[in-house]
Amino acid sequence: MDIALDPSRLGLGHVIGVSTESKHSTVKVTTSFVLSPLESYRPESGVETVGVVCGRCGTKVEVSVASPEVAFGRRRRRIMALRAGLMATVGGFVLAAAIGGTGDSPVAGWIGTFSLLSLLHTFVHLVPMVKYEFGVWLSGSQPVAVREAHLISVLPANHPSFSGRRE
């Protein structure tokens, strides 16, 4: 079963710590959180916002849950944006090579720079969005402090409240 259809496999996480570790030119960011089950359901159509109580802090967190149609639509649009970003990147590199192949051209440099930025944007922003699109997200109408302290994640198969099946 696709995870976008099964909210019982998702949990509300309470962030308990964020650590960063630097080695040479890389930075590793680790977020630690405590998961509690997301007791929700998929609506037949549209998006519903439900209040879920965090098992760690007791705060009522508003979570938006999309119907399967809306969840797949969001994922499909993000995949299309990912493909468009990759095509723009490849097209930009091809154009920069065609223009820059004749000598020193500032236009080729600008197009190449734009292509690198497009590639960076695609992998930094769009790939995680597609990878973690469950059709469930924290509602944007609640305070920033509540949104920063919580996240939606997949429950591990050995979680006590896991009601899905192992794959």
pTM for this predicted structure: 0.62
Q: What is the pLDDT of residues 140-164, one digit of tens each?
A: 888 888 888 888 887 766 656 544 3
Q: At 85, list the tokens.
A: 């970003």
Between the CA of residue 36 and those of 31, 32, 39, 71, what are the distances in Å?
16, 13, 9, 22
Model confidence at 103, pLDDT cuts 50, 70, 90, reads: low
Burial class (CB in 10 A: 0-12, 13-18, 19+), 13: buried
Angle of helix 106-121 relative to helix 68-100, nearest 10 degrees, comes to: 160
Q: What is the pLDDT of residues 18-66, one digit of tens each?
A: 888 888 888 888 888 888 887 777 888 888 888 888 888 989 998 888 8
Model confidence at 123, pLDDT cuts 50, 70, 90, reads: confident
Kindly list the domain boundaries of the chain, sorted by start residue.
3-154
Helix, strand or coil for residue 67? coil
